[in-house]
Amino acid sequence: MDRRLFLAAASAVSLPRLPNGRPQTQPFRLAYAPHFGMFQAHAGPDPVAQLEFMAAEGFRALEDNGMRQRSVADQEKIAAAMARLDIRMGVFVAHTIDWSKPTLASGEAAHRTRFLTEIQQSVEVAKRVRARWMTVVPGHVDARLDLQYQTAHLIESLKRAAAILEPHGLTMVLEPLNTLRDHPGMILTGTPQAYALCKAVASPACKILFDAYHQQITEGNLIPNIDAAWDEIAYFQIGDNPGRDEPGTGEINYRNVFRHIASKGYQGILGMEHGNSLPGKDGERAVIDAYRRADAW
């Protein structure tokens, strides 16, 4: 849709007011999920105030990688605010990630036990904040072990984690990371590899987190790879490349990517796992405007 037509249609709609009395702008078509700190210049440091600002600007979801580390009291406060504002919870990181040495790939029992214990703990976090998805990063490659053995170790750990999550209707989403710029040495790097792992685990509790920023660096070909892995993708994350900032600051045509995801009937969340290209309130407004442009296909 032409941007002028989109804005005209938005202004013609009688929009609801939020529980705090603030008028709400037109909700975005897709459930883009900001994170805490992204709009702090406007809303201040209080997480609830930030959630209220997000809702007033039309966002319908939140992503908080560090939710597992927050106190129970803070988790409950955030969950209550999200329920009041009709904001859905996106992913949080489900376990401790070791960025420098092999863990799950090694097959060592101590690493697997720790991982499964943290997955069990994350079930309680997910229930508390009404989350459906949690991020799993399998960790560093083991340079002294054949890749096939490492893959077998990963599959076994993921199967055991899926058995913990399935009874609760929860899903871990495996995130491939780029090794060319941000995370050298990670074992899970590409969409086809994540797809094969999910097929091997064969559980609704084990799916793919498709981070377009990482995959633009690693493999490109975003839309065809989304199509090829579609039945195993449960969650998306966003960030332009280079820079890992909001859409429109790099080379990814996010308007086309969002249009394609929407055309496939996606009802999930797209985490805004990126920075702001500019500081302060102007930078925060630039992020919101960027999503309005990319969302108006």
User: Domain containing 264 — which CATH number?
Assistant: 3.20.20.150
Total of domains in the chain: 1
pLDDT given for residue 7 in this prediction: 39
Is 86 inside a domain boundary? yes
pLDDT given for residue 263 in this prediction: 98
In the chain, which residues have pLDDT < 50?
1-15
Is 21 inside a domain boundary? no
Q: Which of 50, 49, 60 is nearest to 25 (CA)?
A: 60
Cβ contact 243:209 at 8 Å: no
Q: How far apart are CA 234 and CA 231, in angstroms?
A: 8
pLDDT given for residue 291 in this prediction: 98
Is 145 inside a domain boundary? yes
C-alpha angle 124-130-135 in degrees, rounded to nearest 5: 70
Alpha-carbon dihedral angle through residues 76, 80, 81, 85, given to the nearest 10 degrees: 150
pLDDT given for residue 24 in this prediction: 63
Cβ contact 215:225 at 8 Å: yes
Is 216 inside a domain boundary? yes
Is 140 inside a domain boundary? yes
DSSP state of 102: B
Is 17 inside a domain boundary? no
Q: Which of 129, 136, 127, 128 is nearest to 93 (CA)?
A: 136
Domain that holds residue 281: 27-295
